[in-house]
Amino acid sequence: MRICCTIVWLGFVLLAAEKSSDIRSVNFANLGYPWVTDTGDREFRWLTSFDSMVLLRDGHHVFKNPEDCGLSCPALEIQEITFEDVNGDGVADSIVTLLYTTGGTGYWHYAYFYTLANSKPKLLAAFKGGSRLSHGLHRVFTGNGHLVIELNEAKENQGECCAIWKSRTEYEWRRNRFEAVSKPVLERIPLHERRWSLKLLQ
Q: What would the mean pLDDT of 70-75 be, rounded to a whole number?
A: 82
Residues of the chain with pLDDT > 90: what percent? Answer: 61
- pLDDT reported for residue 22: 92
d(CA 73, CA 69): 5
Question: What is the pLDDT averaged over residues 176-194?
Answer: 92
| Chain mean pLDDT for the chain | 85
The domain in which residue 17 lies consists of 2-201
The DSSP H or E segment spanning 125 is strand 120-131
pLDDT at residue 106, rounded to an integer = 83
Burial class (CB in 10 A: 0-12, 13-18, 19+), 92: middle
Return d(Cα 202, Cα 191) in angstroms, integer. 20
Predicted confidence at residue 146, as pLDDT, reads 97
pLDDT band at 65 (very low <50, low <70, confident <90, very high): confident
Q: What is the mean pLDDT of residues 154-177?
A: 85
Which of 5 and 164 is assigned the larger pLDDT? 164
Q: Structural domain tally of the chain?
A: 1
Q: Measuring CA to CA, which residue among 88, 86, 95, 89 is closest to residue 26? A: 95
